[in-house]
Amino acid sequence: MVCLPDIRPQNATRRFSQPAKLVRAIVARGLLHPNSTVLEVGAGCLRNAFYLLAQGHHVTVVERDEVRHRFRQEYSDFQTKHGTVVSAIPRGTFDLVLATFVLETICPLDKRHALLGDMVRATRKGGVLALALRGVSDVKTAKARGEPYLDGYVTPARTFVKPYTVSEIRSILLSFGLSKVDALARVDAPQIVNVIAVKGIG
C-alpha cells in the first residue's frame, strides 16, 4: 500500500544545534575506532555529521535534494571539510550506519523495510547499525497526534510518523540478522527509542 499523495516527509526535518543523544552515546562508549567510516542516512541539518567529522571520522551522508537545498550552507561547509554527500546509499560497507528520526517517517512498510535492508547491507560485518526513533509516548501527544493511517499517523504538518517500542524494533533488527541489540532505555516505550545493533560476523 502506498502513502497519501500529499505527504511531505521533508517537513519532518528540523534544525538542531547539538548531535542526537544516540550519537553522543556511540562516541562515549568507544564503539568507533579512530578514522572510522560512517554513513548517515537522512542527515538533515548535519548536526550528527559535523560532530562525527570533528571526532576525526570519515563521514558520508545521504539526503534528499529538497533538504540539502534547505540547509545549503551547512552542506557546502560539510563538503569543504571533506565530508561526502550522496543522494543514495553507496556501495561498500561502513563501520557505523546511522539514522536518527528517519525510518519512522517512511509511510509504506515495504519501503521502510527496504531502506533498513539497504542500511544493514551497508554495515560491515562486526560494524554498528544505530537508530533513533520516535516512541509511542512521544507521538501520542495532543499536539503531535494527527489522523491514524496505516500503522502510524499523518501529522498536521502532513508528515507520516510510525511510533516504535524497544521490543518492536529489536525484533525487526534481529530478523535482519543483527545481534547484540542494545536500547538506551530501561522501559519498552520511552519517548525516544535509541538502539545500537551489531552486524554478525558469522
Residue 64: count other Cβ atoms within 10 Å of its Cβ. 15
pLDDT tens per residue across span 115-135? 999 999 999 999 999 999 999
- Mean pLDDT, the chain, rounded, equals 90
Task: Return the domain boundaries, the chain.
Answer: 20-199
pTM comes to 0.93
Number of alpha helices (DSSP H) and beta strands (DSSP E) in the chain: 7, 10
CA distance 76 to 74: 5
Highest mean pLDDT among 104-108, 117-121, 176-180, 188-192: 117-121
Least confident range from 13-17, 111-115, 129-133, 149-153: namely 13-17
159-194-108-136 Cα dihedral, nearest 10 degrees: -70
Pairing status of strand 58-62 against strand 37-41? parallel
- Architecture of domain 20-199 in CATH? 3-Layer(aba) Sandwich (3.40)
Residue 6: helix, strand or coil by DSSP?
coil
Say yes or no to pLDDT of 141 above 60.
no
State pLDDT tens for residues 42-97: 999 999 999 999 999 999 999 999 999 999 999 999 999 999 999 999 988 999 99
